[in-house]
Amino acid sequence: LEAEESLQRAFTLDPTNPFVSYHLGQLYILMGDKVRSRSYFETAMENSANHIDLENRTRPATLQEAGSTFFST
């Protein structure tokens, strides 16, 4: 996927950018890859200390909507 390649390239250039991690997490949800999705969402949360808007979007929109069954492995 072109989107995956572009986001992975951006992540390689700046792995602390929470927006890139967030969008990778969203992409992997769509692809059905729970493990990768969770990893990128966790990275986004860890790096979002100065990005309150991202943290507010990540928690309710992704973690709660996905539900605990989404992340069960």
Cα–Cα distance for residue pair 55/32, rounded to 1 Å: 22
Query: Does the pLDDT value for residue 64 go beyond 50?
Result: no
Three-point CA angle 52, 53, 56, nearest 5°:
85
The pTM assigned to this predicted structure is 0.70
Which tokens in the block code for residue 14?
């700046």
More confident residue, 69 or 34: 34
DSSP string, 45-67: HHT-TT-HHHHHHHIIIIIIHHH
How many residues are there in the chain? Answer: 73
- What is the per-residue pLDDT across 41-57, written as a single tens digit (0 to 9) for each? 999 988 887 665 655 55
- The band of 71, judged by pLDDT with boundaries at 50, 70 and 90, is very low
